A = this chain, B = another copy of it.
Amino acid sequence: MKKRYSKQQRRTMILEAALICFAHKGYNGTTTKDIATQADVSEALLYKHFPNKMAIYAAINDFCIEEGSEVGSIVLKQKNSIFAFISSVYFLMYVVVFATPLKRKYKGISHRLFVYSILEDGQLIEKFHHSSVLPCIQAIRQYYKYLKSQNHITETTAAVDNLIWCVYSVAAMMTIFDLSDKELAFEGSIKNSFHDAVIFALRGLGLKEQVIRDHYEPQQLQDYIEDLFSQNSAV
């Protein structure tokens, strides 16, 4: 005899099953039958919770997109300083590569959903950029301008927003390669590659070498971000 679950438990089980299906076959490749089978429920029961596949996908999107987290607003709303700039760049890359603690359990899965989204209608990734990437870009742009006025950043003809999109791109691509079972790119542990990528990014943004040498402390930054995460989830 099957165990009995509450309505809420069933809903969560269906969503977890859907997460796995969509992450492995994309929206277009997944049927409600696949999801029902994965969740070990009948399609009839599934339809009691969600009217259609689209509604399940929408519920999952809400899960993938964390609206402006507490930690984000602390990092991205600092007073102008070298630390504010470096820690925001680090935060953007860190969250993309290592995910927030809440999402770590589903890290590969939500990243696969994002990649499928680019291959399909792009809505999920667009929402993610809007809710999570653009606030980082805004903050980094502001700190960038301040550091430029302080002569810590080298002049360039390149558009600052594009340079910051490059930072995000490095982190995103590193994460996408990491989805594969094969070792497709980068050398050494992901932690070391990540550290090298942050140096690459800070230089790419034009932060002067002397400033990077004096102020970029990977371990301190990681502790800073992880401490913020643990303080803000322990409510």
A interface with B by C-beta (< 8 Å): 25-26, 28-29, 112, 115-116, 118-119, 121-123, 125-126, 129, 133, 154, 156-159, 161-163, 165-166, 168-170, 172-174, 176-177, 179-182, 184-188, 192-193, 195-197, 199-201, 203-206, 209
A180 to B116, CA, bound (A): 11
Copies in the complex: 2
Out of B25, B162, B181, which one reaches A122, CB within 8 Å?
Answer: B181
Asked whether B177 lies within 8 Å of A118 as measured between CB atoms, the reply is yes
Asked whether A168 lies within 8 Å of B196 as measured between CB atoms, the reply is no
Chain B nearest CB, measured from A91 CB (Å): 18
Question: Chain B CB within 10 Å — which of A169, A176, A182 has the most?
Answer: A169
The chain B residue with its CB closest to the CB of A168 is B185
Asked whether A118 lies within 8 Å of B180 as measured between CB atoms, the reply is yes
A180 to B39, CA, bound (A): 31
Asked whether A158 lies within 8 Å of B196 as measured between CB atoms, the reply is yes
Chain B nearest CB, measured from A113 CB (Å): 10
Out of B118, B179, B203, which one reaches A204, CB within 8 Å?
Answer: B203
Asked whether A162 lies within 8 Å of B184 as measured between CB atoms, the reply is no
Asked whether A186 lies within 8 Å of B162 as measured between CB atoms, the reply is yes
A209 to B166, CA, bound (A): 18
Asked whether A170 lies within 8 Å of B166 as measured between CB atoms, the reply is yes
The chain B residue with its CB closest to the CB of A208 is B209
With a CB–CB cut-off of 8 A, which chain B residues contact A184?
118, 122, 125-126, 129
With a CB–CB cut-off of 8 A, which chain B residues contact A157?
199
Asked whether B195 lies within 8 Å of A158 as measured between CB atoms, the reply is yes
Out of B25, B129, B168, B196, which one reaches A163, CB within 8 Å?
Answer: B196
A161 to B187, CA, bound (A): 7
Chain B nearest CB, measured from A198 CB (Å): 9
Out of B29, B165, B181, which one reaches A29, CB within 8 Å?
Answer: B29
With a CB–CB cut-off of 8 A, which chain B residues contact A116?
119
